[in-house]
């Protein structure tokens, strides 16, 4: 294990922002992780996974611990289900493809989401009508101060829309080591209700899709709308879709009858932030090297040399303009560092 100093994080964040870590170490197993935590008890620590959900606006004045734990395996199964465990440092999409190769169902709608397995529970990643929590069983995590391992069951994780206990009550206290998912071996519960998936399958003449077909459809849709971080720096959706009171929505809709919404509960609706941002005139706009993606207004992009501060400033301008026009606050989904 080597502690590096003044280490560039450009290749460790999908926005491709140039920022430095005061100290940086990659750990490849639990023993190494424990050793680092014990060796540097009083150092400020910053835990880094796939770097796909953060915006670095400054250098990190801390010991950055890159969690690079690898491995995936079947830990239990019966005729209908299989329980698989993946280590935190596994690339999410490669893990999803591995489950699909074996015809294990449940994660197909979550294909091609950037990031690592260990960070998926933190914000309960979701796409095309499915959330990670739907297949999640538990995760194991190490307490940063005591180095003790703890199991977080699904109930304990308190998952919500892009929310969990790891963003709230125990924020920055634990390092997720591994995650267990329960997947189907037969009678797969396909979720193709999300409009674009059905359309994509129909386009290819697929009437009875397999989980691989659904994954392929999701990959095609994502590729058509969302920029590949390897080509254009980004962090997926920069903002969350705001959830507002239905009563407020009904009032706003009088002025903006086209505004879409999805029912959340009897009293609440979710409004697509992408629509609000597009209507506010930002879609496809570029300010220096910071911009708003041309096909999906929820995604902010780095055309090359944007600083984290420039992207942050753009995000604030967008939030303010949307608020002035619609009276709706949109919140960042990515972690601003
Ligand atoms: N829309 C626009 N203009 C845009 C983008 C969206 O008008 O530029 C409107 C349209 O009305 C469209 C609706 O928003 O019908 C929904 O758009 P889309 O299907 O692209 O989904 P989203 O709500 O914008 C969410 C997730 C994405 C996920 C997609 C698909 C959030 C914050 N984002 O986006 O997640 O892939 O649904 O399920 O919930 C991510 O979290 O990084 C991410 C990409």
What pLDDT is stored for residue 66 in this prediction? 97
CB-ligand 1 contact for 60 (6 Å cutoff): no
Mutate to test the pocket of ligand 1, among 272, 294, 297, 299 (most ligand atoms within 8 A of CB): 272
Q: How far apart are CA 207 and CA 210, in angstroms?
A: 10
Tokens found for residue 55: 């915006």
Closest CA to 101 of 74, 135, 66: 74
Tokens found for residue 116: 């690592």
Q: How far apart are CA 120 and CA 182, in angstroms?
A: 15
pLDDT per residue as tens, the chain (337 positions): 899 999 999 999 999 999 999 999 999 999 999 999 999 888 899 999 999 999 999 999 999 999 999 999 999 999 999 999 999 999 999 999 999 999 999 999 999 999 999 999 999 999 999 999 999 999 999 999 999 999 999 999 999 999 999 999 999 999 999 999 999 999 999 999 887 899 999 999 999 999 999 999 999 999 999 999 999 999 999 999 999 999 999 999 999 999 999 999 999 999 999 999 999 999 999 999 999 999 999 999 999 999 999 999 999 999 999 999 999 999 999 999 9
C-beta separation of 174 from 122 below 8 A = no
CB-ligand 1 contact for 281 (6 Å cutoff): no
Q: Rounded to an integer, what is the distance from CA 216 to the centroid of its chain? A: 19
297 CA from centroid of ligand 1 (Å)? 8
Q: Cα-flanking dihedrals φ and ψ of residue 282, to 5°?
A: -95, -20
The total of other beta-carbon atoms located within 10 Å of residue 23's CB is: 20
C-beta separation of 197 from 128 below 8 A = yes
CB-ligand 1 contact for 45 (6 Å cutoff): no
Q: How far apart are CA 239 and CA 241, in angstroms?
A: 7
Q: Rounded to an integer, what is the distance from CA 95 to the centroid of its chain? A: 15
Q: How far apart are CA 308 and CA 315, in angstroms?
A: 11
Q: How far apart are CA 259 and CA 276, in angstroms?
A: 8
Measured CA distances, 82 to 62, 88, 132, 137 (Å): 40, 19, 16, 11
Domains located in the chain, CATH noted:
4-67 (3.30.43.10), 72-225 (3.30.465.10), 233-336 (3.90.78.10)
274 CA from centroid of ligand 1 (Å)? 6
Tokens found for residue 73: 């395996």
Q: Which residue lies with its CA nearest to atom 2 of ligand 1?
A: 275
Q: Tell me which residues are annotated as active site.
A: 162, 237, 333
Atom of ligand 1 nearest to the CA of 53: 42
What pLDDT is stored for residue 196 in this prediction? 87
C-beta separation of 14 from 50 below 8 A = yes
DSSP state, 158? T
CB-ligand 1 contact for 240 (6 Å cutoff): yes
Classify 128 in phi/psi space as left (phi over 0), alpha (psi -120 to 50) or beta: left
* E strand or H helix at 323: helix 308-326
Q: What is the pLDDT of residues 79-129, one digit of tens each?
A: 999 999 999 999 999 999 999 999 999 999 999 999 999 999 999 999 999
Q: Cα-flanking dihedrals φ and ψ of residue 91, to 5°?
A: -65, 130
What pLDDT is stored for residue 43 in this prediction? 87
């Amino acid at each position: 294990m080597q502690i590096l100093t003044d280490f560039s994080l450009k290749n460790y964040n999908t926005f491709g922002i140039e920022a430095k870590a005061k100290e940086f170490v990659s750990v490849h197993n639990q023993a190494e992780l424990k050793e680092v935590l014990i060796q540097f008890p009083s150092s400020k620590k910053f835990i880094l996974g796939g770097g796909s959900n953060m915006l670095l606006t400054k250098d990190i004045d801390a010991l950055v611990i890159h969690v690079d734990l690898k491995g995936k395996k079947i830990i239990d199964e019966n005729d209908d289900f299989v329980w698989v465990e993946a280590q935190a440092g596994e690339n999410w999409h490669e893990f999803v493809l591995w489950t699909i190769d074996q015809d294990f169902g449940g994660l197909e709608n979550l294909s091609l989401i950037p990031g690592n397995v260990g960070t998926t529970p933190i914000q309960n990643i979701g796409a095309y009508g499915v959330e990670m929590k739907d297949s999640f069983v538990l995760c194991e995590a190490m307490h940063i101060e005591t180095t003790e391992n703890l199991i977080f069951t699904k109930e304990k994780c308190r998952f919500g829309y892009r929310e969990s206990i790891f963003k709230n009550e125990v924020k920055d206290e634990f390092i997720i080591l591994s995650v267990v998912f329960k997947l189907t071996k037969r009678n797969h519960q396909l979720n193709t209700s999300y409009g674009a998936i059905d359309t994509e399958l129909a386009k290819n003449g697929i009437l009875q899709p397999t989980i691989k077909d659904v994954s392929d459809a999701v990959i095609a849709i994502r590729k058509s709308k969302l920029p590949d971080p390897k080509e254009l720096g980004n962090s997926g959706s920069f903002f969350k879709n705001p959830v507002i009171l239905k009563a407020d929505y009904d009032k706003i809709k009088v002025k903006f009858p086209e505004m879409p919404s999805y029912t959340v509960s009897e009293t609440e609706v979710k409004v697509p932030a992408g629509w609000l941002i597009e209507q506010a005139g930002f879609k496809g706009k570029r300010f220096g090297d910071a911009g708003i993606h041309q096909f999906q207004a929820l995604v902010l992009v780095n055309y090359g040399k944007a600083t984290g501060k420039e992207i942050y400033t753009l995000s604030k301008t967008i939030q303010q303009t949307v608020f002035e026009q619609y009276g709706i606050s949109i919140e960042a989904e990515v972690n601003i560092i």
